[in-house]
Amino acid sequence: MPVPDGTEGEDAVTAPDRTLLESRIRDIPDFPKPGIVFKDVTPLLADPETFAHAVDALAAPFCDDGVDKVVGIEARGFILAAPVALACGAGFVPARKAGKLPGSRRGVAYDLEYGSETIELHDDAFAPGDRVLIVDDVLATGGTAAATVELVEALGGEVVGLAFLIELGFLDGGARIADHRRTSLLTF
């Protein structure tokens, strides 16, 4: 079920405090290359109240539906996905850039806002039918997320949703993952 406004699953406890979250995200112009405005989430991560709130708001729409594994996308996705996994009582699975995982692995290549990349998972990351939530900091063009969905499904996982701290709506990345439920705490 596509949820373009990122508000499904909100209630009084878990609704994202967008003013708080936005106040802890910093724009860095022309990083990592000219024309890109990098969304720097390190101030949010450095503030325990905001970090905890972000984790709760990312987990809340999905945890109650049953999540077996939470996939975090390298690198900032790891930081968010690991506590989301614990909040859901699920395992954490790292989706890594090419050549970083030590075991037998499978990869999918994709384009991103500033370059191209390959994402990999260990090929035994999931038990058959595992319910999988994918977490990352930013949804930009959607290439990374779509490749990760493809990989999880190829390895036997069932993608129950995707959760992002930030969605860059003007890049329309949501269209690439429109077949899946998603939450984005902030949309720019």
- Of the candidates 50, 144, 183, 184, which one interacts with ligand AMP according to CB under 6 A? 144
Q: Report the alpha-carbon distance of residue 16 to residue 1 in Å, rounded.
A: 20
Q: Which residue in 83, 125, 141, 163 binds ligand AMP (CB under 6 A)?
A: 141
Q: Does 139 bind ligand AMP (CB under 6 A)?
A: yes
Helix (H, G, I), strand (E, B) or coil at 45: helix
Q: Which of 3, 79, 112, 178 binds ligand AMP (CB under 6 A)?
A: 112
Nearest to 10 by CA among 69, 62, 71: 62
152, 88, 12, 58: CA torsion to nearest 10: -40
Torsion 60-37-43-76 (CA) sign:
positive
136 part of the interface to ligand AMP, by CB under 6 A: yes
Binding mask 160-179 for ligand AMP (x = CB under 6 A): -------------x------
Active site (annotated) includes residue 76: yes
Q: What is the distance in angstroms between the CA of the first residue and the CA of the last residue of the chain?
A: 22
Closest distance of CB 33 from ligand AMP, Å = 11
Which window, 5-13, 17-25, 46-54, 131-139, contacts ligand AMP (CB under 6 A)?
131-139
Which residue among 96, 105, 113, 120 is the active-site one?
113
- Residues 133, 94 contacting (CB under 8 angstroms): no
Residue 159: closest CA among 181, 136, 183: 181
Round to whole Å and give the CA distance between 174 and 140.
8
Annotation says 105 is catalytic: no
Q: Which of 46-54, 64-72, 120-128, 133-141 is the region at the interface with ligand AMP (rule: CB under 6 A)?
A: 133-141
Judged by CB under 6 A, which of 8, 10, 22, 36 binds ligand AMP?
36
Q: Provide the token pair at 15.
A: 């609704």
Catalytic residues: 76, 113
Kindly list the residues in this chain that would bind ligand AMP in the complex (CB under 6 A): 36-39, 73, 76, 112-113, 136-145, 173
